[in-house]
Structures are given as structure tokens and as C-alpha cells.
């Protein structure tokens, strides 16, 4: 180490007399102070001093301090140690005393004792040379050499482990296999990333925009922590495949962790090595699999985590998905901190209702809605049909599915927000065509063999009699089907059977007391019929269809509002009374009784259904509605507008009634859907009824009434 400027201790030092041994330069010692002179030194010098010089004192070894202040000092050793007082701790039990923590600096020699009271002070001469630690380049190089030596010694200590012990050998292999400093270089070309995302996925503009934003920020700041994204949407819309495309776009490794049904926190944090059969958690195992410390981790089905006596895995994920904590993630098995801050976590879920609030707060939620019919047709012809043709060994020259047939599959054989069922139906078509193609190749081979045999046999002899050809033989030599095989609606019915879904809307609204509502489910939006009937009774309201408490309250709100406005709209029961429940029972039913239903958005539908029942008028067959109601007749906003509107569009409806405060949500609806539908925004139930009935539902005076003169 190069020499720096020397440091001088003060020429006058207070002396601390101790009998507890010798304090060496560079060492640390605790000493007890309970004599009169030493107590006075601590109180006057150390506790009241405000400078660094006031904490430097001289320690004289093997010299007891007299108990009385009046007694003379014993003979002092001429050599002592200059010390720095690091800590002072005092106590009054059993008697006043202090405990000093001192660090030795250098030796000194007493030149002259200047005073003895209240504590001894001497003039000293420094014997050792103190050097200031230089902050030079050479020092850094020496520290670098020291760190390399430390690393070598640490490796030697690890190699000294007994590898014959299975637990030690397993831990050593795990430590060696983890990517502590290995990472991949991100591809940050935004144009190429946009082209790749557009080629892999149709629509999904929000997801693509968020990925491109991340790439742009990574170009400007290389030390960006990995974001925590959560894709929420119905099944089959491509949430998992988007995660793969994100990894492909960034040039990173991809690893999927399925969390559905996980109910043990050890799956996330790992088991402690004290347990038999212990193993690391899925996070550390995933890092071992991919071999880099900055992969893309897909946490699939995070909304389906369980909870048991073994802990709550959702709580264990709080540390993993928190950017402020995951740089120091500690697996119980590994028991060594690992940096997860460069990992890009993507979670998928069907709904946020079952995700704990604390976990949801740590993620950036991006909604992934269902597809429109036009988007499904594009996805089918860009991705699904080529994939199914390749999987079944077919080519476009052998099978063609026109867009009209694809639309027929979407509308008559599937009813979903995603494209998973559509993919299965296309696979069924490909299998049926593969049978035809295989049979055709077999027939071609039989025809060729028959022609070759006829050519070799030549003319028949005179004695030979011609053999008749059976019908089965003729059928076996039938010509193969012409290529390409075109699938039309008739062929679709032969392959997939009769249609599973029919447009039954107009048939079901052929009598009063029926209205169409819009509902949101984790599988996407759905249309929902509400049916009502009345009969003689005692004024009871019956609700069926597995309804939740909120929906039951909406039904009671609807009947209360109609009873209070019965005269206004001239609504009467069977006996002509404005008291709608007078000797009348009402039954409200929500079909699909095996499905549990709840939520406030059916309020306007129930009001419209009951208004149709008591007025005897039919609700328009092309109208669907959603919205929460109040007792005063106001219409309040609800959620899931995009999924509900897409469900109405799939069902072939033409008009949708929405709360006025949900008008802002129409901006997310695709343009072609907005052109096919007409939207009516309502702030009160009067506007809802006027839009739901042909000619409106205006207030009318009761015909035939004459004001009484009596």
C-alpha cells in the first residue's frame, strides 16, 4: 500500500488507568470505569466533548486507579496506547459505573505528567506512524486483487464440502446450475417487434401497445425493472400465446408456471431442507430450467390459487411480484437471496374477483376482451386453418373452407368469447376430409392395379367366359373425390351434425312478460332471458333460477318501482286494480337454472319484463339491455360493457340499451360492431321503457274516465 500523509495524535492526552490488560493498536477492548478519576474523565471529557479530538484518550495498562480522589497516583507505565472511544454505556446499579468500547490507534510515550486531578493529563510523544488510507487507483487494484483472492478461498471452501452426503451434493448441484450472472440480450427493434406481434396475433391492440411501450423505455433506460403484467379475459382469447410472443419478441427465454389448484406456499418459496423430500420452489426450478436470470415467466391461472393448512401461495407471491422486494428473493431450500428484478412476470386470469386485493395491487391489469365475429373469421383463416391443415397432413389444394362456412361454424356451432371451440370444430372438419383423401388414394391405387392387370392379360380366349363384376367391386373402384374439397353449409351439416345454436330470440319474445338482458361471466358476455308470469294468489313474489342476493334485491326494487308508478303507466293486474300485487302472485324466472346468477345489472331488464307483463305489450325482439336501478327510477352504470355488447352482436340483436354513464365505454367497441348496432343511453327508467317497446311507453290517460261532478 502506498504511503499517505502521516496522522498525528494530540500532544496532550487524558489518561485512562485500567488493570484489565494491554490494548494493542488496531484491536478493540471493553473496559469498566468505576473509580473516581476515571469516572470524572468520562463525564468531563467524553460525555461533554463535541469534537473527534475529545474522544481520543491514552490507555495505561496494568495500573489500578485509586478508589479515592484524594489518594496519590501509583507509578505509571511510561508506554501506553492512544485509543478512540467508540461507545459509552452507563448504569447506576449496583453503583454508578460506565463501560467503554475503545479501539487502539498507536503507541505513545509519557514525556511529562501535567496534572493528576480531576483526572490525569500527560504530555506524550507518538511512537507509531499512522497513515491516512489513500483513495487512489492503486488502492482499487489492490482491493480487486483482494476480492479475487477471497473468491478463490471461497471456492476452495465450497470444494471442501463432503459430496458423499446426498443433501450436500444436491444443494451444490443446484447452486452451480443457477444463472447468477447469465442473461440474454434484449432485442429492442420496435419496428421488427410490431411486425412480429401483428403476424402472431390478430387484434389485441392493448397488449401490443403495452409491449411496444416496454421496448421503447428499455431503449432509453437499460436498467429498467421487469414489469408485472396481468392479462385478464375469458378462456381461448390467446392470453398464454401472447406471453410466448412477448418472449419471442424480446429474444428471451420463456417458462410457464401453472398455478391452478396450487394450495401450498412451498410450491412458490420451496421447502426447508430439514424436511424429507424437500425441493426448491417453482420459481427457482424455472430459473434452473431456462438457464438465464432475465426470462419471461408466465404465471398461468393466478386467479385459481387455493389455500390450505400448508399456507397461502397467494401471500407467497407478494414477494415475487413486488418490484421493491423481488431483487432479494430467498427460497427456503436455497436459503440464499436471488435477484428476480430482471424477470418479466406475466400473469393470466379469467377474473379479478378471486385474486386477493394485495396481490392484485402489485400487478398491472390489462383486460383482454372476447373477439367479434369478423375477428374470429380473420383468426381462423390466418392461424387456425393453416395449423389444422398442417397437423392433419392436408394442404390448401386438398381442402378449402370459405369465409361463409367459417361464419356458419361461429354462429351455429360455437358460442364463446375465444376461439378454442372454433379450433376444435375446424379439427373435426380436417379429420373428416383426411378420411376422404385417404380413401381416394386407396381407390386410385386399386384402379391402377386393375388397369395394369388388364394390360398384361391381353384378350380373353374363346373358351374363357367373362366374369360378372359385382356391385361391391364397382363401388370399390369408384373414382376418388375431386380436389380441392370445398366445405359448404351442406357439407358442414354432414360433418358436424345439426346446428347446436339457433337464433331463437324472436320466437322467445312472442308473448308479453319476456325481455332480454346482458350478463357478464368469466367466459365472456352472454344474453339472458327474463320471463315473468302472474296468477291469482296472495301477493307473493317468487324468484327462480339460482339467483344471488343482489339480483333478488333488484327484483324487489323493480316491483316496488312499478307499483308506485302503476297509475302513471296505467298498469293493472288481472282484476283491473292498480295495486299490482292485489290478489296476484308474480313469478320471475331466469332460464339456465343450473347456472348461479348474481349482480345488479339485471335491474332494467326485470323492470321491462314486468312492465310488458302488466301492460300486455311485447318487448321488441331485437333489444337487449343492462343497467342497475334505484328506487327512484334512476339507471346506474355497470361493468363489462364491451363483453356484453359483443354478446348482443353475436346473438343478432340490433339495439342495446345502456346506462348513460357507460357511454364512455363505447369507445372500446370495434367500429364494425358499432355500425351494426344502435345504442340508446338512458339515465332513468322512463327512457328505458320508451326504447324497449315499439312506439314508446309514454304516459297515457286512462280511456273512458269522466271526472265526477259529485
End-to-end CA distance of the chain: 121
Residue 235, marked binder: yes
H-assigned helices in 534-638: 549-564, 566-569, 603-615
Given the residues 376, 425, 642, 644, the one annotated as active site: 644
Coil, strand, or helix at residue 447? helix
Does 564 qualify as catalytic in the annotation? no
144 among the known binding-site residues? no
Task: Please report, to the nearest 10 degrees, the dihedral formed by the alpha carbons of residues 234, 238, 244, 250 taken in order.
Answer: -100
Cβ-Cβ contacts under 8 Å for 205 (sequence gap 6 or more) = none
- Integer angstrom CA distances of residue 116 from 11, 38, 70, 83: 17, 11, 10, 20
d(CA 489, CA 108): 107
Q: Which of 601, 654, 664, 708 is catalytic?
A: 601
CA dihedral of residues 570, 574, 579, 585 (deg, nearest 10): -130
CB atoms within 10 A of CB 39: 19
Q: According to the annotation, is 48 in a ligand binding site?
A: no
Phi, psi (rounded to 5 degrees) for 680: -120, 120
Beta strands 12-17; 121-126: pairing state: antiparallel
**Distance of alpha carbon 346 from alpha carbon 365, whole angstroms:** 10
User: Judging by beta carbons within 10 Å of its beta carbon (0-12, 13-18, 19+), is residue 640 exposed, middle or buried?
Assistant: buried
Question: Is 81 in contact with 24 (CB distance < 8 Å)?
Answer: yes
Query: Dihedral of the CA atoms 279, 283, 289, 292 (nearest 10)?
Result: -130
Contact (Cβ atoms closer than 8 angstroms) between residue 82 and residue 58: yes
Taking the C-alpha atoms of residue 329 and residue 403, their distance in angstroms, rounded to an integer, is 51
Is 402 annotated to bind ligand?
A: no
Query: At a CB cut-off of 8 Å and minimum separation 6, what does 31 contact?
Result: 16, 18, 20, 59, 99, 100, 102
According to the annotation, is 239 in a ligand binding site?
Answer: yes
Which one-letter DSSP state was computed for residue 684?
A: B
Q: With left for phi above 0 and alpha for psi between -120 and 50, is residue 26 left, alpha or beta? A: left
Does residue 644 carry a catalytic annotation?
yes
Angle formed by the axes of helices 603-615 and 685-692, nearest 10°: 60
Place of cell 297515457: 700
Which grid cell is 638? Answer: 355497470
| Class of residue 470 by CB neighbours under 10 A (exposed 0-12, middle 13-18, buried 19+) | exposed
SS3 content of the chain, % helix, strand, coil (to 5): 40, 20, 40
Q: Collect all residues with Cβ–Cβ distance below 8 Å to 153 and sequence separation of at least 6.
A: none
R_g over Cα of the chain: 43
238 is in an annotated binding site: yes
Residue 652, marked binder: no
Alpha-carbon distance 89 to 73, whole Å?
A: 26
Catalytic amino acids? 601, 644
What are the binding residues for ATP? 233-240
What are the binding residues? 233-240
Amino acid at each position: 500500500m502506498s504511503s499517505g500523509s502521516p496522522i498525528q495524535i494530540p500532544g496532550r492526552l487524558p489518561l485512562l488507568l485500567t488493570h484489565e490488560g494491554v490494548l494493542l493498536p488496531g484491536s478493540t477492548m471493553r473496559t469498566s470505569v468505576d473509580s473516581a478519576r476515571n469516572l470524572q474523565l468520562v463525564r468531563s471529557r467524553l460525555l461533554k466533548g463535541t469534537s473527534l479530538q475529545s474522544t481520543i484518550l491514552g490507555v495505561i495498562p496494568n495500573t489500578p486507579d485509586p478508589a479515592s480522589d484524594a489518594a496519590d497516583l501509583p507509578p505509571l507505565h511510561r508506554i501506553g496506547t492512544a485509543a478512540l472511544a467508540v461507545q459509552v454505556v452507563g448504569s447506576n446499579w449496583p453503583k454508578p459505573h460506565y463501560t467503554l468500547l475503545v479501539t487502539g490507534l498507536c503507541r505513545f510515550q509519557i514525556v511529562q505528567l501535567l496534572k493528576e486531578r480531576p483526572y490525569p493529563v500527560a504530555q506524550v510523544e507518538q511512537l507509531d506512524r499512522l497513515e491516512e488510507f489513500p483513495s487512489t487507483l492503486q488502492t482499487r487494484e489492490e482491493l480487486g486483487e483482494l476480492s479475487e483472492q477471497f473468491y478463490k478461498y471461497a471456492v476452495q471452501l465450497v470444494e471442501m464440502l463432503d459430496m458423499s452426503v446426498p443433501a450436500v451434493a444436491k444443494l451444490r448441484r443446484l447452486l452451480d446450475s443457477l444463472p447468477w450472472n447469465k442473461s440474454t440480450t434484449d432485442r429492442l427493434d420496435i419496428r421488427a417487434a410490431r411486425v412480429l406481434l401483428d403476424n402472431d396475433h390478430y387484434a389485441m391492440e392493448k397488449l401490443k401497445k403495452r409491449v411496444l411501450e416496454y421496448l421503447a423505455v428499455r431503449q432509453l433506460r437499460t436498467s429498467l425493472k421487469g414489469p408485472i403484467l396481468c392479462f385478464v379475459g375469458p378462456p381461448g382469447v390467446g392470453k398464454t400465446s401472447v406471453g410466448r410472443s412477448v418472449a419471442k419478441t424480446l429474444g428471451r427465454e420463456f417458462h410457464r408456471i401453472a398455478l391452478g389448484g396450487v394450495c401450498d406456499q412451498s410450491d412458490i418459496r420451496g421447502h426447508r431442507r430439514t424436511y424429507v423430500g424437500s425441493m426448491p420452489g417453482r420459481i427457482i426450478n424455472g430459473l434452473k430450467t431456462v438457464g438465464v436470470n432475465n426470462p419471461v415467466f408466465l404465471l398461468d391461472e393466478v386467479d385459481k390459487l387455493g389455500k390450505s393448512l400448508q399456507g397461502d401461495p397467494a401471500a407467497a407471491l407478494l414477494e415475487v411480484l413486488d418490484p421493491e422486494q423481488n431483487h432479494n428473493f430467498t427460497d427456503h431450500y436455497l436459503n440464499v437471496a436471488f435477484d428476480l428484478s430482471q424477470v418479466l412476470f406475466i400473469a393470466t386470469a379469467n377474473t379479478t374477483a378471486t385474486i386477493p386485493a394485495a396481490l392484485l395491487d402489485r400487478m398491472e391489469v390489462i383486460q383482454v376482451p372476447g373477439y367479434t365475429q369478423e375477428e374470429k373469421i380473420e383468426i381462423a383463416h390466418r392461424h387456425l386453418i393453416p395449423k389444422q391443415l398442417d397437423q392433419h397432413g392436408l394442404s390448401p389444394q386438398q381442402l378449402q373452407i370459405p369465409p361463409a362456412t367459417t361464419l356458419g361454424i361461429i354462429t351455429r356451432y360455437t358460442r364463446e368469447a375465444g376461439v378454442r371451440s372454433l379450433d376444435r370444430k375446424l379439427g373435426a372438419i380436417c379429420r373428416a376430409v383426411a378420411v376422404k383423401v385417404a380413401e381416394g388414394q386407396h381407390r386410385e391405387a386399386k384402379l391402377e392395379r386393375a388397369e395394369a392387370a388388364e394390360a398384361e392379360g391381353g384378350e380373353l380366349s374363346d373358351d374363357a367366359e367373362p366374369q360378372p363384376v359385382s356391385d361391391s367391386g364397382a363401388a370399390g373402384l369408384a373414382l376418388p373425390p375431386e380436389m380441392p374439397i370445398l366445405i359448404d353449409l351442406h357439407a358442414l351439416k354432414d360433418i358436424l351434425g345439426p346446428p347446436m345454436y339457433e337464433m331463437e330470440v324472436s320466437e322467445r319474445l312472442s308473448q308479453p312478460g319476456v325481455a332480454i338482458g346482458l350478463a357478464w361471466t368469466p367466459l365472456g358476455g352472454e344474453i339472458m332471458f327474463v320471463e315473468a308470469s302472474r296468477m291469482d294468489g296472495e301477493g307473493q313474489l317468487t324468484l327462480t333460477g339460482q339467483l344471488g342476493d343482489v339480483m333478488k334485491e333488484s327484483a324487489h326494487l323493480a316491483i316496488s318501482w312499478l307499483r308506485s308508478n302503476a297509475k302513471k303507466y296505467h298498469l293493472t293486474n288481472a282484476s283491473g286494480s292498480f295495486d299490482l300485487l292485489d290478489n296476484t302472485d308474480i313469478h320471475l324466472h331466469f332460464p339456465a337454472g343450473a347456472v348461479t346468477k348474481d349482480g345488479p345489472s339485471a335491474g332494467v331488464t326485470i323492470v321491462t319484463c314486468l312492465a310488458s307483463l302488466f301492460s300486455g305489450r311485447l318487448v321488441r325482439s331485437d333489444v337487449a339491455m343492462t343497467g342497475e336501478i334505484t328506487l327512484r327510477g334512476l339507471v346506474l352504470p355497470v361493468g363489462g360493457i364491451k363483453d356484453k355488447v359483443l354478446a348482443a352482436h353475436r346473438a343478432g340483436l340490433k339495439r342495446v340499451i345502456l346506462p348513460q354513464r357507460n357511454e364512455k365505454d363505447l369507445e372500446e367497441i370495434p367500429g364494425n360492431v358499432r355500425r351494426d348496432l344502435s345504442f340508446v343511453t338512458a339515465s332513468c327508467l322512463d327512457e328505458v321503457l320508451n326504447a324497449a317497446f315499439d312506439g314508446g311507453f309514454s304516459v297515457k290517460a286512462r280511456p273512458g274516465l269522466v271526472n265526477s261532478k259529485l
